[in-house]
Amino acid sequence: MDVRTKATATQRAEGYEKMSAATAEATDLIKGGYSTAVKGAQDYNNKLLEFAQTNTNTAFEFAKRLLDMKSPSEFIELSTERTRQQFATLTEQTKELAALAQKVTLASTEPLKAGVTKAFGQAS
């Protein structure tokens, strides 16, 4: 084997090793991102279930109080209070869900972003 052929074979082997290492690293990053996303989706779903339970309990309490109504004015007062309370609760729940979704999105994409930045930095 002459020197040029040997040098070309060495370069190809080195290129293959670098590409193989980069592929393995990218695979690990993607797996990590998916794992984080799945965990985040589970947390989000758990939060939704928690809110559903809270809202159901509140609705049943409201229904019980309705049964004890003695006058139309009591009904209007209770309905107004319930509407105000429900609006405040839903507003807070929406804020919590949005914050959780943002946290999960950032946690899932940040490692991928760092990996891509690193890969392009190495390629240059």
Q: Once rounded to an integer, what is the mean pLDDT over residues 82-96?
A: 96
Q: Once rounded to an integer, what is the mean pLDDT over residues 55-79?
A: 93
Domain locations along the chain:
3-113
Q: Once rounded to an integer, what is the mean pLDDT over residues 73-87?
A: 94
The residues, any chain, with a CB within 8 Å of residue 122's CB and separated by 6 or more, are 22
**Per-residue pLDDT for 1 more than 70?**
no
How confident is the prediction for the chain on average, in pLDDT?
86
